[in-house]
Structure 1
């Protein structure tokens, strides 16, 4: 069976046009027709019906079911191709979210250096949810992730490393700084400085807002945690950050939330379940998961 026939077929199901499908691949329309006929003969089934009177294309039930399998096959082939290319390049593709890269990854550097792995890492910096997508697509093989729940997409292997609380941060001049802890609802009347949607914090924040049925007076959103901490330190507003991203040099006060149920920042390492690790990759995995 020709893999290209599967590509033609899947695109034809999407576009529902022989002409548009042929144009997309730069081939003739009869090429697409022949590919479909080969597949139908192979499986002894009718996948498509051409309605000449209405000039339309009907996908049969079997045709739709077959396309689900085709998508899975094409995805696996894409992942395999990406893995093979990475192996040729002899680098370890590695995802790293900004907060984890700045506040946790440096603690791993001495061991990575000692094992000769640091210069083998091909680092991709992005938000955790984007990195999960890259893992599934085979564009990276390993990643550190920040999550609010200890689970990821099917097909990925996850190892929890540590749990960090997410806290409210305020300026030392803010009246709230005198408290030992607050309930989330208490921040409703404060100016709020948040992170953009690429961060796990934003999803955790949305969860707490919905749960407490309040709205926030968000005056600014930044893609940079350092900017958020700087603005909060100037008493321009309050923030909501994981304990992992805060240290004594930030000149802010951290307040634990007193709410019984609240999200936390879960630091985890992830790879694909079906990824066969090289010797160096196994050493990296052991360092990431402390095994």
Structure 2
């Protein structure tokens, strides 16, 4: 069976036209017809039939199964072509979530420079959800991302690098610091400034508030952690931070969250499950894992 036959089959079902499919691939219409016949001979079944009134091509159960499989095969084939192309060029595309990059990118960059890999690695910065989509879509080879553990796609190979936790950030003058054991429920009486949807903080913040059935007062959202620290420092609001979201500061108070069940969250190194870690790919994975003090098998 030729993989081109799967391309023809996939496009034919999409266009519903032998003529259009042939034109899209710059081949003759009999070429498309012969491809469909080869597939049906191979699987010894009918893949679709033409509806009498509308002339639409209607998939049989076997055709539906083949189309699902064809979609995966074609996507993986395209990823393989891209990956081998990057291997030939000795390049790798690495995505990094902003909060991770802010804290760890300098430490990651040093061994990359020492191993003379700087020109081979193209680094981009984007939010967690977008990183996952781009790894799955083949636009990125690797990504370092903060993720809720239960939300990761089974098509990804995931290496947990570091767990992290969330805290309340406040000014020493804030009323919350006067309580003996301040809780997240106590904190929700006051306005917050939080990181925006580029970060995982916003999702976790609202999940925790939902556990208490309290609508939080969000005064401001930003992707600038320095701005958030400044507003907290001026005692205008509370902050909601993670271990990696902001660097520790001596003039602000961090209050742990103990009265609600926080989700399990990690910084992860993610790649497509079928992407084999060899060559430059393996070098970069080793650098990332060593930076986060993960034992490499």
Shorter chain as denominator, the TM-score bin is: 0.7 to 0.9
* Residue aligning to 1:162: 162
Give the structure-2-normalised TM-score. Answer: 0.84
Change (3 A) 1:111 1:41: same
1:25 correspondence with 2:15? no
Please state how far the C-alpha of 1:70 moved relative to its aligned partner. 0.6
Q: Secondary structure at the match of 1:45?
A: coil
Residues 158 and 268 of structure 2 are in contact (CA less than 8 Å); yes or no, is this contact kept in structure 1?
A: yes
Change (3 A) 1:110 1:29: closer
Q: Secondary structure at the match of 1:227?
A: helix
* Residue aligning to 1:56: 56
* Residue aligning to 2:65: 65
Please state how far the C-alpha of 1:166 moved relative to its aligned partner. 0.7
Structure 1 distance, partners of 2:130, 2:248, is: 30
Change (3 A) 1:214 1:262: same
Q: Secondary structure at the match of 2:158?
A: strand
Residues 12 and 18 of structure 2 are in contact (CA less than 8 Å); yes or no, is this contact kept in structure 1?
A: no
Q: Secondary structure at the match of 2:111?
A: helix
Please state how far the C-alpha of 1:251 moved relative to its aligned partner. 4.8
Change (3 A) 1:162 1:150: farther
* Residue aligning to 1:123: 123
* Residue aligning to 1:201: 201
Structure 2 distance, partners of 1:246, 1:85, is: 38
* Residue aligning to 2:189: 189
Q: Secondary structure at the match of 1:145?
A: strand
Residues 167 and 241 of structure 1 are in contact (CA less than 8 Å); yes or no, is this contact kept in structure 2?
A: yes
Q: Secondary structure at the match of 1:169?
A: strand
Give the structure-1-normalised TM-score. Answer: 0.85
Where does the alignment leave 5 or more consecutive residues of structure 2 unmatched? 291-295
Counterparts of residues 224-243 of structure 1 (less than 5 Å): 224-243=224-243
Structure 2 distance, partners of 1:274, 1:286, is: 18
Structure 1 distance, partners of 2:59, 2:86, is: 37
Residues 201 and 242 of structure 2 are in contact (CA less than 8 Å); yes or no, is this contact kept in structure 1?
A: yes
- Aligned length in residues: 290
* Residue aligning to 1:84: 84
Cα shift readout 1:181-210 (whole Å, capped 9, x = no counterpart): 532222332222223323221222232122
Residues 48 and 57 of structure 1 are in contact (CA less than 8 Å); yes or no, is this contact kept in structure 2?
A: yes
Greater displacement, 36-45 / 193-202: 36-45
Residues 242 and 265 of structure 1 are in contact (CA less than 8 Å); yes or no, is this contact kept in structure 2?
A: no
Please state how far the C-alpha of 1:249 moved relative to its aligned partner. 4.5
* Residue aligning to 2:171: 171
Change (3 A) 1:170 1:11: farther
* Residue aligning to 1:149: 149
Q: Secondary structure at the match of 1:122?
A: strand
Structure 2 distance, partners of 1:232, 1:10, is: 55
Cα shift readout 1:237-264 (whole Å, capped 9, x = no counterpart): 2221112222244853221112252125
Give the superposed CA RMSD. 2.9
* Residue aligning to 1:43: 43
Q: Secondary structure at the match of 1:168?
A: strand
